[in-house]
Structure 1
């Protein structure tokens, strides 16, 4: 085999490998399995390699953010404090000098009915509790529950619900549930869930 033939064969093999990886990513996205798998504070490229959803590179030396190219769930892969969300349409991940800085997302692909909202929220709270997260500021912001009192509060457009959780001295998160006017369904009560996840203050 000549040198040119060898180079051509290698390029063809590399192109085939790239196409195979892209096809696998597309299949995962189309099957609803697209996910962003991350830990706060890790190198951005580690997150990109681990994730099946496509997301752009970070910008060296900058603080900014990116969004996945498709609906994706969050898989928080910390070995102790991990959890998984439903698929999200709004999903923003910030980077600080090529490291994952924080996450802001709504773990849903459309505004949800109250029963479905509570189902998502209670599942997430159960995951956090089982993984060692603990509620903080609970006297002022108690964890959400499926009770008549909580349902009445969430239905009040001026109140909604907010809760804060902490994972040891590593991470904190804020959970917000609010009433949302869905122009596609103006006669229905619909709700948005928002999660914000970041490093605990004082943690480097």
Structure 2
């Protein structure tokens, strides 16, 4: 093998090794995505110790909330009704005397286009349905669907959409979608999703 061939072969091996290393790093980053892992009604400190996203401790004896120190997804860890959200930038964990009583968040990093918004809400609904959650008040607040009627309603700045789901008599989620004027993209239709999770606060 000539010197030139040996140099070219070694260069190829180095490029391949670097490529493999980069792939491994990306996979690790994706799998190590910061998350808040919790269940409603548990001690706040148990959530802090379990979660991979940093969040401040609770103020003993107070009713308050804290926000993760980075973008983070919610992993709701109930053994029957658990689900996972996409990463969120707006994310609050509310507690009452050191016990978690609710979560309010927007499961997205930025205002989204309608197609991306529907993808998230439909995937969340599918998780809930598969885990045994049931939609409630469907005559007034039907579940989201990718239909021309739903798209027209969501595009209406005066309407938007809202749906409620119950997990037996243990938990309730509310999911809201509204048009949002994004100052960074003033000519685009952008949307915000709001998710609230707590023990049931409305009747089925």
Q: 1: CA distance between counterparts of 2:81 and 2:107?
A: 18
Mark the runs of 5 or more structure 1 residues left unpaired by the alignment. 1-27
TM-superposition CA deviations, 1:120-176 (whole Å, max 9, x none): 000000000000100000110000000000000000000000000000010011100
CA positional deviation for 1:200: 1.9
Q: Per the alignment, do residues 79 and 30 of structure 1 end up closer, same or farther by CA in structure 2, a change over 3 Å counting?
A: closer
Q: Is the 8 A contact 1:29 1:53 kept in 2?
A: no
Pair member with larger Rg = 2
Q: Per the alignment, do residues 30 and 138 of structure 1 end up closer, same or farther by CA in structure 2, a change over 3 Å counting?
A: closer
Structural mapping, 1:46-195, within 5 Å: 46-195=46-195
Structure 1 consecutive aligned stretches of length 4 or more whose deviation exceeds 2 Å: 28-32
TM-score normalised over the length of structure 2: 0.83
Q: 2: CA distance between counterparts of 1:187 and 1:201?
A: 38
Q: 2: CA distance between counterparts of 1:39 and 1:158?
A: 34
Q: 1: CA distance between counterparts of 2:30 and 2:66?
A: 21
Backbone CA RMSD of aligned residues: 1.5
Q: 1: CA distance between counterparts of 2:197 and 2:30?
A: 27
Mark the runs of 5 or more structure 2 residues left unpaired by the alignment. 1-27
Q: Per the alignment, do residues 32 and 191 of structure 1 end up closer, same or farther by CA in structure 2, a change over 3 Å counting?
A: farther
Q: 1: CA distance between counterparts of 2:184 and 2:59?
A: 37
TM-score normalised over the length of structure 1: 0.83
TM-superposition CA deviations, 1:162-202 (whole Å, max 9, x none): 00000001001110000000010000000000000011249
1:39 aligned onto 2:39: yes
- Across the two proteins, how many residue pairs are aligned to each other? 175
Q: 1: CA distance between counterparts of 2:119 and 2:36?
A: 22
